[in-house]
Structures are given as structure tokens and as C-alpha cells.
Amino acid sequence: MDMRVFDLFKIGVGPSSSHTVGPMLAARRFLLECPELFKVSKVQVALYGSLALTGHGHATDKAVLLGLMGETPQDVIPDTIEDKLTALASSGSMNLLGEYPVKFDMMDDLLWHKQEVLPGHPNGMRFTLTRNDGTSCDQVFYSTGGGFISTEAELLQSASTDNDNTTSSLPFPFGTMAELLAHGQRSGLSIATMLRANEVTHCSDAELDTGVDKIWAVMKGCISRGLQISGELPGGLHVKRRAAKLWRSANESADVLPHDGMHKVSLYAMAVNEENAAGGRVVTAPTNGAAGIIPAVLRYYAEDCKPSNPEVGIRNFLLVASAIGMLCKKNASISGAEIGCQGEVGVACAMAAAGLTAALGGTNEQIESAAEIGIEHHLGMTCDPIGGLVQIPCIERNGMGAVKAITAASLALRSDGTHHVSLDQVIETMRQTGADMQTKYKETSLGGLAVHVITVNHAAC
């Protein structure tokens, strides 16, 4: 398995990693790989399946346009996005990769195929470019969750090579938790140490630490902004941001309740997901829709657990969390469009539970147990965002996921590490449950809350 910690944790923008970050990356990559852009006379983008069904609410159209203009999720400045799109709408043209002018008609050149799904994944898109000499270039991309993208060929290739550890150059190659635990038993090393050893085959120790510290800094900043900003979220549902108001009242209240600590953890997570819903700067963890859980549990660790060496603990937390995310991505999915919300909030909960257990000194077996508990109690969770927006149930769901992660870590840390269900078994159960789940519950907004809570926005779709 060739995945890195920074594949799981990517700095980007909201509201969705699969529907915003992935499409933006795909649009830009399509152009970078097409020669002779100076001859382009037309560019067309077609969205399929879940991207077409929930793309308006998830800002897929905006993401694709920004990607064609050369923007990246990491570097685009959220406050400048609306101005760029307004300029495109009024001029009817854009500069591909910021350089090559082409006319772009939002009706003719951006197509929504809601009834059609491409064969590789529910989140498919086709890019086509025509040159003024009559030649053309086209490519299909899939956005497979968490900001990962693949062409058709790459998807087939990864399916055929993913289970082959024999050619890996990593010191601790693993494709299952059983393999990772076996490495630990043989070497006597912790999961965090083994992950670090794998990572430093790509970069130095110092570069790894700098990168991981930056991820935490962006997560922390996102919580802080979310705890300060009030108002209404975009998208037409008129959802009010609650984290800042509840945070103020929690801090001003004279009454101290036993569960105040957990209340604050929920607010950290909701603060991040409100920022995400507003199109702000967030880190995929492992997705945008589930981006609040890991930062919330990390802040709980850093502030409430009073660690003696928080810097090391936070790095270990994120390394171990990434190992769980890698296993879920490889052996099931982290895409709500593929397996429902169990693959987003459920996986984030497992990652946070494992990370917290590691940071608090848990054994490898206790880490496995915590991660397994985290997923087990999200099995079957559907993805049914109201109005196709990453707001209801997503924001509160992150608050709940963060609290469950702490409970999972606590149960594991107070046990001797033996447990009945293995992480590999529960990941396979999640995969099969997702395969059996009806399409209407997989990020299509055709079932669940999305149809039982009628909104002006939804009725108009």
C-alpha cells in the first residue's frame, strides 16, 4: 500500500473533499497533462452520479471552474473565490491555468448527468478539450473520497497492485491491521514508530515533523475561527452557525456540569465543520465532511489530558490515525458516495480513537481495539445530507463522532487490549454493508433526512 500521512491529511477548502477538493485537483491535472493549451478553443466538463446529484450543494461546479483556472485547494484563498467566479460569469470566459483564454458557457460547457454513473466510482467526471486545429483531448477522473483522484487506468492499476507488499520498499509494509500488529510483535516497536519509519523513506524526520505540525496548526486555526464566527451558512437552508454562541455561553455560565468537557469537544468539532460548510480552510481528516472529529479530539488531548510532551504526542496521534485511515481507504472506502457516512464519520472516529489511544501511551493492541470500536458503532450509517449541503446532519454528526472517539479510546485504554472483533473484520463488514446499502443513502440526497425534511432549496432541485 503506497499511501502517506499527507495523503490522508490534506490542507484544502470546504465544503467537501470528494465533491470540492477532488474535482478541483482533477480539473487542474487534466489541463496540466493536455499538450498545446495555447490552441484550445473549447473545454467541457461533465459530472456524473453523486457529483451531479449533490454537486450544487457541495460546490463541485465552483471547484471544477477554479481548477480549470489553475487554482489548488491548498493555495486558493477562500475569500477570493466568489470574485473569481463572478468575473467568469460576467465575462463568459476564463484563462485556463491562469494563462490561456477560452470562452466558457455555464449551460453548454458544464454538464450534469444525474441519471448516469460511470463504471469506476459514483463520483465520476469527464473533461474534454478541443483545439482550433480540430484535435482534442479527453480524460475521465474519479474522486474516490478524501480528495483522492484517479483516472480510469489508475483505478484499475491500484486494484491489481494494492495487495502486493512483496515489492514494497517500506521497512514496515502493511495492507491489513494483522500485518501491522505482526510487525509490531516482531520488532517491539509502536505503530507510531513504524509509521514514522515508513514515512522517512520519502522525507527526512525534520520534514515529516514540520509537515505534521503544520497540519495540526491548520486544524487548530480552523477550530479557533469556528468558535468566533456567527451568522448563517451559505446554500439556502438558512442554517445558523451555533459553535461560537454555544462556546461563549459555555465559558460564561456559572454552572459547571460534569459533562461540560464533552460539550466543549462537540463544539470544537462543530466549529470545524461550520468552517467547512462555509467554504473555509480545513484539513481532510480523512474527508472534509468528517473534518472536525480529529481536530476536536486532538485539542481535547492537548488541553484536557495535560500531556507531558504534547508535541510528540500530537505527532504520534496523527501518524497512528493516518495508519487507520490508510487501512479503511484500501480495504473499504472513505467515500460517502461509495459506502455512506460510516466511511466518513465512522472512519474519522476510528482514526481519532486510535490516535488518542496512542498519544496516551496505549499498546498496539489497545490502539487496534479503539479503532475497531470507533467503526463498529457507526456501521450502517447512511449519507443523506439535506439539500445536498454538507450541513445537516454533517455538522452535529462530527460532534457526536468526536465524543464517541474519546469513549472508544477510554474503553480500550482500560482494557488489556484483547477484544473479540478485529479491526480488519470490522473494516470488511463496513465495506460489505456499504455495498449492500441502497444508492439513495449514498450521498445522492435522494433518501433519509434529505427527503423527509423538505426545504425550499431541496424542493427547487
- Binding residues (CB under 6 A) for ligand SF4: these are 289-290, 336, 341, 344-345, 383, 385, 390, 393-394, 397, 443
Residue nearer to ligand SF4 on the CB measure, 184 or 374 = 374
- DSSP characters over 104-137: --TTTSEEEETT---TT-SEEEEEEEEETTS-EE
Residue nearer to ligand SF4 on the CB measure, 289 or 295 = 289
Rounded to a whole number of angstroms, the minimum distance from the CB of residue 140 to ligand SF4 is 23
Rounded to a whole number of angstroms, the minimum distance from the CB of residue 61 to ligand SF4 is 17
Residue nearer to ligand SF4 on the CB measure, 146 or 362 = 146
Closest CA to 43 of 31, 52, 58: 31
Residue nearer to ligand SF4 on the CB measure, 273 or 369 = 273
Rounded to a whole number of angstroms, the minimum distance from the CB of residue 393 to ligand SF4 is 6
Residue nearer to ligand SF4 on the CB measure, 47 or 208 = 47
- DSSP characters over 234-258: SSSS-PBP-HHHHHHHHHH-S---T
CA dist 126 and 113 (Å) reads 11
CA dist 345 and 334 (Å) reads 9
Rounded to a whole number of angstroms, the minimum distance from the CB of residue 279 to ligand SF4 is 15
For the chain, how long is the longest CA-to-CA vector? 74
Contact 382, 447 (CB under 8 A): yes
Residue nearer to ligand SF4 on the CB measure, 88 or 450 = 450
What SS3 class is residue 176?
coil
Rounded to a whole number of angstroms, the minimum distance from the CB of residue 89 to ligand SF4 is 27
Contact 385, 391 (CB under 8 A): yes
Residue nearer to ligand SF4 on the CB measure, 81 or 345 = 345
Residue nearer to ligand SF4 on the CB measure, 340 or 355 = 340
Residue nearer to ligand SF4 on the CB measure, 10 or 397 = 397
Rounded to a whole number of angstroms, the minimum distance from the CB of residue 233 to ligand SF4 is 13
Calculate the alpha carbon distances from 396 to 105, 248, 266, 294, 403 in Å: 38, 18, 8, 14, 11
Helices (H) and strands (E) counted in the chain, each on its own, are 20, 9
Rounded to a whole number of angstroms, the minimum distance from the CB of residue 88 to ligand SF4 is 26
Residue 237 one-letter amino acid: L
Place of cell 467541457: 44
Rounded to a whole number of angstroms, the minimum distance from the CB of residue 75 to ligand SF4 is 24
Question: How wide is the angle at C-alpha 390 spanned by C-alphas 456 and 282, nearest 5°?
Answer: 145
Residue nearer to ligand SF4 on the CB measure, 424 or 443 = 443
Rounded to a whole number of angstroms, the minimum distance from the CB of residue 389 to ligand SF4 is 9
Parallel, antiparallel or unpaired: strands 100-103 and 93-96: antiparallel
Rounded to a whole number of angstroms, the minimum distance from the CB of residue 417 to ligand SF4 is 30
Alpha helices in 332-382 (DSSP H): 336-339, 345-359, 364-376
Residue 27 one-letter amino acid: A
Contact 377, 336 (CB under 8 A): no
Q: Please count the residues of the chain.
A: 461
Residue nearer to ligand SF4 on the CB measure, 297 or 390 = 390
> Rounded to a whole number, what is the distance in angstroms from the first to the last CA of the chain?
40
Rg of the Cα atoms in the chain: 22
Instruction: Indicate the residue whose CB is closest to ligand SF4.
Output: 289
Angle between helices 423-436 and 177-187 (to 10 degrees): 170
Rounded to a whole number of angstroms, the minimum distance from the CB of residue 289 to ligand SF4 is 3
Alpha helices in 69-204 (DSSP H): 81-91, 152-161, 177-187, 191-199
For 102, which DSSP code? Answer: E
